[in-house]
Amino acid sequence: MGSIEQVAREEHLDNPESRANAFAISALIYGDLSHSDWNVLDQHIRDRVAARRAFLRDQFSALGNSHS
């Protein structure tokens, strides 16, 4: 693992979004992803994060309503 990945891993180990972004950027830097592929992957990561946040918000909202 290179120094970029090591720092990203240590700082963002508990944050899946940050970890996914760090590895995607690393792949772009090392030439494993083209810029257009990185754009698609970056959008996918953002979409998944938004979907997960919406799901959790709905779950906690439903849980809060069931205790009222």
CA–CA distances in Å: residue 26 to residues 3, 9, 16, 17: 10, 12, 15, 14
End-to-end CA distance of the chain: 50
Nearest to 19 by CA among 60, 55, 48: 48
Condensed to tens digits (0 to 9), the pLDDT of residues 6-65 reads 766 666 566 888 888 888 999 999 999 999 999 999 999 999 999 999 999 998 887 777
Number of domain units in the chain: 1
DSSP state of 33: S
Residue 50 tokens, joined? 């938004």
Residue 62 tokens, joined? 């439903």
Range of the domain at 41: 3-66
Residue 8 tokens, joined? 């990203």
pLDDT band per the 50, 70, 90 thresholds, residue 1: low
